[in-house]
Amino acid sequence: MATDSFILSPFRIFKGISGFLSFWYVRGSQDFWHREVNMIKGVGRDIGVLINLKLIFQPIYGDYSLIGKLIGPIFRLCRVFFGILLAIFLSFLIIACYALWLLLPPVALVMFWENLFYLLVG
């Protein structure tokens, strides 16, 4: 049971809109970036980018033969490269999602009004 009435006064509407904008752009951005940064860190950790960089000259699978010493850095570099590539790709994706996040409210509002105006007026 609401203690407030259902009447939406201009003040209430203004408060609601400003609250929504603050939530969407300020709080939403904070949460968004916090989540995405953690995701990128997790991906980097799972792929082992830093640790492979650190052990770049250590042979893989403990193969200390000449061939092993030659192949090791190559495979490690490939892994690091793949990890960086994935991070870049994810970063672009995240930026794209963030752009969508930023643009969504105004675009949705504008398109809504345009369609409504079109239907009402023709």
Partner 1 sequence: MPEEQGKQENQAVSEVIRCPECQADGFRDNGSKCPTCDGGGVLLRVRGAGDYFWGSDLSGNLSFFRLFGHALQSSARFLSYFLAFAALIYGVFFIVSQNGDFFVSFKSDVDSVRLAKDDIFGALVIAAYYFALNIVEALGVIFTERGVGTLLFWSGLLGAMCCYYFARTADLSRKEISLTDTEFKPFYEENPAKLEKAIDVSAFASVSTLGMLKKALDLAHDHAQAPGVFHLARVLLGDDDIRSLTMRMEIDTKAFGAFLDDAIKHLPTNDHYNRKKGTVMSPEMKQLAIFALQESIIAGFDMIEPEALFLALFCDQDMEKYFHDAKFDLQDIRSALLWTRSLGKVRIGNGRPRKITHTVMNKAWTARTTPELDQFSYDMTDRARSGLTGNVVNRSRELDELMRILERTSQNNALLVGEEGSGRTTIVKALANRMIHDEVLPTLRDKRLVVLDITALIAGASAGGDLELRIQKVLEDMGRGGNIILYIPDIHNLAAAGNGEGFDASKILSPILSQGLFQIIGSTDYRNYHRFIEPRGDFANGFDTVKVEELNEKDALQVLAIQAGYIEAREGVTMTYGAIKKTVELSNRYLPDRLLPGKAIDLLSETAVEVRRRGEGQTLRDEDIMKIITEKTGIPLESINSNEAEKLLNLEESLHRRVIGQDQAIKSVSSAIRRVRVGMKLQNRPIGAFLFIGPTGVGKTELAKALAEIYYGNEEAMIRLDMSEYQTVDSVEKLIGYSSSEGSDDNAGGGILTEAVKRNPFSLLLLDELEKANKNVLNLFLQVFDDGRLTDNLGRTVDFTNAIIIATSNAGSKEVSKIFVDENSDNDRILEMLDPYLLQYFTPEFLNRFTDKIVFHSLTPRNLLLIAQLQIKGLAKRLDEAQGIKVELSDEAVSYLVEVGYNAEYGARFLQRTMQEKLENLIAVEFLKGNIKRGDTFRVEVEQLKQI
Whole-angstrom Cα distance, residue 60 to residue 43? 21
Q: Is 3 in the site for partner 1 (CB under 8 A)?
A: yes
Residue 36 C-beta: closest distance to partner 1, Å: 17
Whole-angstrom Cα distance, residue 95 to residue 40? 12
Q: Is 96 in the site for partner 1 (CB under 8 A)?
A: no
Scanning 19-27, 32-40, 86-94 for contacts with partner 1 by CB under 8 A, the matching segment is 19-27
Q: Is 24 in the site for partner 1 (CB under 8 A)?
A: yes
Closest by Cα among 114, 117, 119, 109 to 21:
109
Scanning 20-28, 32-40, 86-94 for contacts with partner 1 by CB under 8 A, the matching segment is 20-28
Whole-angstrom Cα distance, residue 69 to residue 62? 10
